[in-house]
Amino acid sequence: MDRVEKPISDLVELIEKPLKEGKEAGLVIRGNSMWPLLHDGVDKIFLKRVDFYRNYDIILYRRISGNYVLHRIIGKKNGAYILAGDGEFEKEYPIYPHQILAKATRGIRKGKPFSCDSLRYKIFSFIWSKSLYLRPLIVKIAVWVRRAV
Tens digits of residue pLDDT in 71-81: 999 999 999 99
Q: How high is the pLDDT of residue 8? A: 64
CATH number of the domain encompassing residue 106: 2.10.109.10
- 99 close to 14: Cβ distance less than 8 angstroms: no
- Number of domain units in the chain: 1
Q: How high is the pLDDT of residue 143? A: 85
Judging by beta carbons within 10 Å of its beta carbon (0-12, 13-18, 19+), is residue 36 exposed, middle or buried? middle
Q: How high is the pLDDT of residue 2? A: 47
* Within-domain flag for 3: no
Confidence band, pLDDT 50/70/90 cuts, at residue 6: low
Q: How high is the pLDDT of residue 48? A: 96
DSSP 103: E
How far is it, in rounded angstroms, from Cα 72 to Cα 63?
14
* Within-domain flag for 57: yes
Residue 64 belongs to domain spanning: 8-148
Percent of the chain with pLDDT over 90: 71
Confidence band, pLDDT 50/70/90 cuts, at residue 36: confident
Return the SS3 of 32.
coil
* Within-domain flag for 1: no
* Within-domain flag for 2: no
pLDDT over 60 (residue 64): yes
Residue 26 phi/psi, 5° resolution? -105, 145
